Structure 1
Amino acid sequence: MSTVVDELGARLKTYEGRAAAVAGKGKDPVNEPMIRHWCEAMGDTNPAYVGPDAVAPPTMLQAWTMGGLSGYTGRTGRTGRTGAYDELFDLLDEAGCTSVVATDCEQEYLRPLRPADEVTFDAVIESVSDRKTTKLGTGYFVTTRMDVRVGPYLVGTHRFRILKYAPAHKKGNGKERREGKREGVRARRPRPVVNRDNAGFWEGVQRHQLLIQRCTDCGTLRHPWLPGCNACGGPDWDTIEASGEGTVYSYVVMHHPPFPAFDPPYAVGLIELAEGVRIVSNVVGVPYDKVRIGLLVRLEFQRYDDEDGPLVLPVFRAQEDREGGAG
């Protein structure tokens, strides 16, 4: 088995450096309506994205290269993807790596895009990892790099990484897993991804503080945490502590959780804090079917313990529950 896997890995490595797309062309020029839709969806009111001197939000870089629901016609040339990319995926499919999940992307911005710019792009299969085993299954990480241009000028680079894998077989059927839970076997709760941009937020949570970033240039509050202000672009910031008061702005009820550590059904709310920013978290203290838009909630912190150690998370308890009026 190991010999077969090594041979597959060696074959996959031969695709590194080969073109994944050649002379692709965006289906539409950079345009104001798409910029407007993007900003409305993101809630981004930066004045740089409107008016006669508008630029496109940098994070839209990939949007101008996408084929949409109809896709691109043809296989090569000005229409995009090459045969090498398809061959690589065919090899993985034949080896049983039939599932795929996007893992991360990286973007570099070299020049602002403006309405009427027409983008072209080339992509390369930058790397294929050694065989990796994850909780999802065993497979290979494939990284592609797309270079985006306007005319002869490179305006940005987009790296996209996926895991193409053979799904892991879970031990025991659903009944056995439920019985294990009843016998006191505590499933591991997934941990939040902590990076240099949000580490301060999670450090505050450990101290039972919900910290909100505040731009020191224009005073705008923001959440989730970002490396710069989305209102004025300023890089400097400090924090304020949230009062903990809020209302349910929107919510969903989860019936089929992806992790056994969760106990469905439960409500996940988009909470609008008294300070004006919004945060996603669980709504507790009332049955899931009693959660409503406009419900008053109050911040509290819950601690979870399992094999990975203690975990503290912010949740929001219905105010009516504290006052005896709901639940």
Structure 2
Amino acid sequence: MDDELGARLKSYEGRAATLTGKGRDPVNLPMIRHWCEAMGDTSPAYTGPCAIAPPTMLQAWTMGGLAGHEGRAAAHDEMFALLEEAGCTSIVATDCEQEYLRPLRPGDEVTFDTVIESVSPRKTTKLGTGYFITTRTDVRVGPDVVGTHRFRVLKYAPAGAGPKRPPRPRPVVNRDNAGFWEGVGRHRLLIQRCTACAALRFPWLPGCNACGSPDWDTVEAGGEGTVYSYVVMHHPPFPAFTASEHAADAAGPYAVALIELAEGVRMISGVVGVPYDKVRVGMPVRLEFRSYDDELVLPVFRPCEEAAV
């Protein structure tokens, strides 16, 4: 048949990927606090004696860390082994969907089961040819399902190597953040502002995380900021990210920073124009817009000392 591999992969639909996984820690206030600080979410619902966990933390309670989880079923590894043997050696996350049935509260013990929900027909993308795989994780407290997490990846064979460098992956643009990316295309960094309580928020959201109002407008960031936190990324060679502003080759490490803008919100971005080991917490930076090809423009930050030269 035309796609024998696709037919074999289809046979894994409905099979378990994880059975009776268990969250490594109960739902707890320290993790909630760290999450809210990183996201800049000041909702009072997540503090105090009646605190609940932010709904979008759902996946965090199921993560196994570097040690992973017990209970991963053989079907998961078998399916990915088939893809690897067929040359689909690369993987990229494409999107996720979550459904919340009741809030999680400190002390809740989370268990979960993951099933291979669907495998797409063979698809050809700019990255290469492969298959979109969707898994569904049902998260439980006791016998009750409290939320569902669907996660979709593309497992693919990279497009043929050649002298032309592949394009950088594109950001996911949806109805909630389209205005932000339109602004970036015009070299404007737009921050949402609630028209009910005037709270600024980033990233863009459909409603205010301070008062809940769905009404908003935007203000333009001035471009000044400081490095609030950062990580140094190490990954295998990936030609799309070979760039002189990061490293001499694609395997070289580079810094990804959480930038606190002068307006008070924080955003994740790259720090350019300085070696990764020179990035420091508190470093003043200045916004610039960098074009990576004819279509892709990204906001990045350069140390102020470098920008002034």
**TM-score, shorter chain, exceeding 0.5:** yes
Contact 2:40 2:265 in 1 (8 A): no
Matching residue of 2:97:
106
Match of 1:236 among 206, 210, 215: 215
Report which stretch shifted further, 18-27 or 104-113: 18-27
Greater radius of gyration (CA): 1
Match of 2:121 among 125, 130, 133: 130
Mapped partners of 1:265, 1:164: distance in 2: 27
Q: Which amino acid in 1 is paired with 2:30?
A: P
Structure 1 residue ranges without an equivalent (≥5): 74-79, 178-185
The percentage of counterpart residues that share the same residue type is 75
CA deviation after TM superposition for structure 1 residue 230, in Å: 2.9
Contact 1:188 1:261 in 2 (8 A): no
Matching residue of 1:76:
none
Matching residue of 1:27:
24
- 1:50-104: CA deviation from partner (whole Å, max 9, x where unpaired): 221111111221222233333334xxxxxx3223223222322332333333222
Within-5 A mapping of 1:77-88: 80-88=71-79
Match of 1:259 among 240, 251, 256: 240
Contact 2:97 2:150 in 1 (8 A): yes
Q: TM-score, length-normalised on structure 1?
A: 0.74
> Equivalent residue of 1:102, what SS?
strand
- 1:155-209: CA deviation from partner (whole Å, max 9, x where unpaired): 111001122223344114xxxx6xxxxxxxx985655432211111233344444
Structure 2 residue ranges without an equivalent (≥5): 248-254
Equivalent residues, number: 298
Mapped partners of 1:28, 1:295: distance in 2: 34
Matching residue of 2:274:
288
- 1:110-139: CA deviation from partner (whole Å, max 9, x where unpaired): 110112222232222110111123343322
Mapped partners of 1:319, 1:148: distance in 2: 46
Mapped partners of 1:70, 1:245: distance in 2: 40
Matching residue of 1:38:
35
Within-5 A mapping of 1:1-327: 3=1, 6-73=3-70, 80-172=71-163, 191-247=170-226, 249=228, 258-259=239-240, 262-265=243-246, 270-280=258-268, 288=274, 299=287, 306=294, 308=295, 313-314=298-299, 326-327=308-309
**CA distance change for structure 1 residues 82 and 189 in 2, over 3 Å: closer, same or farther?**
closer
Contact 1:253 1:288 in 2 (8 A): no
Contact 2:21 2:69 in 1 (8 A): no
Aligned-residue CA RMSD (Å): 3.5
Mapped partners of 1:152, 1:108: distance in 2: 17
Contact 1:22 1:122 in 2 (8 A): yes
**CA distance change for structure 1 residues 269 and 37 in 2, over 3 Å: closer, same or farther?**
closer
